[in-house]
Amino acid sequence: MTLSEMRRWIDQRGLQLTKSLGQNFLHDGNQLRRIVAAAAFQDDDRILEIGPGLGPLTELLLATGRPVRALELDARLCEVLRERFAQSPNLELIQTDALRWLQQNPADWSSWKLVANLPYSVGSPILVELALNPTPPRAIVATLQLEVVQRLLAAPDTSAYGVLTVLVGLQFDATGHFKIARDCFFPAPDVDSACVTLVRRAQPLLPPALVPIGAQIVKTAFSQRRKMLRKLLRTQWPEDRLTAALAACGIAETARAETVPIPTWAALTRHLAGPPAQI
C-alpha cells in the first residue's frame, strides 16, 4: 500500500485519524518488508497482528500464506480491512481493544509470532501481557516508540533499565532492531520509532508457575527507584527470608533495583518463592 493509496482510502471514507489511538500508519514499502523479514517465519508459524490500521503490513503478512489474526479497535478501519481482504481466507479479523482482549482471552501463544506496528499508547502493556503469559509467543517483531525500544535494550545501572526491561527480558532475548524515520508514517508522528525483534528464550529464566511472583517482586523493587530494593521488598517478605535470598544471589544490602541484572531477578524469585528460610 503506497502513501497515495493510503490517502485515497482515507479520503474516500472521510476518515478522521485519532491521535490518541496511535493512528500513524507505516506506508514505506522498504520498512514494511524489513519487518516481515525480521519475523523469519517458519512453516508452522501463526501470526498475530495488533493495530493493522488500513492493512499495509497485513497485506504482506497474508501473502506468506500463514494464518493471520488481526485485532483492530476502530470499527471504521475494520470495514476497510474487510473490503480490502475479502478474498483472504487466512485472515481472522477481530474488532476489539487488543490489551483487554488478551487479558480476557488467555491463550497458548507458543506457536505464534506477534508482528505489528503497535499503537504507541498501549505498546508496553501489550508486551508485558504477552511476556507474563505462561506460553508466550515464539517471537515479537514490533514497531514502537524509539524510547520504548531503548528500554527493552537497556543494560543494568542505566536510566532506561526498568520494569519493562526485566519483565520482557525474563522471557525474551532482543536480537535486533532498526530505526524508522518519521516520514515513513502517515501522518508523521511526533516521536521517533524503531522496530525491535524479541525471540523467546529457549530456556526461560523462570518457569510459568513463578512468573507471577517474579513480576510482583520486580514491580515492587522498581516502585521507588531511589530506594534500596531491600527496604521495598521487606514490606512483603520476612526479614530473615529476604536477607538470606539477597545473600544467596550476591545482591548487596544497599543495592537498588536498577543495578540488578535480569538473570539475578530470576534467581531472587526462586529464593523468595522457595521453602522458608532456615534460621
Q: What is the DSSP letter of 158?
A: S
Are residues 156 and 224 located together in one domain of the fold? no
User: What residue type is assigned to position 228 of the chain?
Assistant: M
Of 180, 200, 220, the one marking the end of a domain is: 200
Predicted local confidence at residue 117, as pLDDT:
96
Of 171, 200, 229, the one marking the end of a domain is: 200
CATH of the domain at 251: 1.10.8.100
Is there a domain that residue 278 lies in?
no
Of the candidates 139, 132, 123, which has an alpha carbon nearest to the alpha carbon of residue 207? Answer: 132
Alpha-carbon gap, residue 4 to 83, rounded angstroms: 18
Of the candidates 110, 15, 31, 109, which has an alpha carbon nearest to the alpha carbon of residue 71? Answer: 109
Alpha-carbon gap, residue 231 to 253, rounded angstroms: 9
Query: Hey, is 24 helix, strand or coil?
Result: coil
Predicted local confidence at residue 277, as pLDDT:
41
Predicted local confidence at residue 275, as pLDDT:
57
Of 200, 224, 245, the one marking the end of a domain is: 200
Are residues 20 and 53 located together in one domain of the fold? yes
Of the candidates 53, 83, 204, which has an alpha carbon nearest to the alpha carbon of residue 143? Answer: 53
Are residues 25 and 149 located together in one domain of the fold? yes
Which residue is listed with cell 524508522?
180
Are residues 41 and 108 located together in one domain of the fold? yes
Q: Domains in the chain: how many in total?
A: 2
Predicted local confidence at residue 21, as pLDDT:
67
Ranges under pLDDT 50 in the chain: 276-279
What is the tens place of the pLDDT at every residue in 145-178? 999 999 999 999 999 999 999 999 999 999 999 9
Whether cis (ω within 30° of 0) applies to the bond prior to 187 is: yes
- The answer to whether 219 and 128 are in contact (CB under 8 A) is no
Predicted local confidence at residue 3, as pLDDT:
85
Are residues 170 and 257 located together in one domain of the fold? no
Which domain covers residue 93, as residue numbers? 3-200
Are residues 238 and 130 located together in one domain of the fold? no
- The answer to whether 137 and 110 are in contact (CB under 8 A) is yes
Cell, residue 196: 525491535
Of the candidates 202, 194, 204, 198, which has an alpha carbon nearest to the alpha carbon of residue 165? Answer: 198
What is the tens place of the pLDDT at every residue in 109-123? 999 999 999 998 899
Alpha-carbon gap, residue 166 to 172, rounded angstroms: 10
Are residues 60 and 152 located together in one domain of the fold? yes
Is there a domain that residue 88 lies in?
yes
Cell, residue 36: 516481515
Is there a domain that residue 41 lies in?
yes
CATH of the domain at 26: 3.40.50.150
- The answer to whether 219 and 163 are in contact (CB under 8 A) is yes
User: Residue 93 — φ and ψ, nearest 5°?
Assistant: -105, 125
In the chain the first and final C-alpha atoms are separated, in Å, by 66
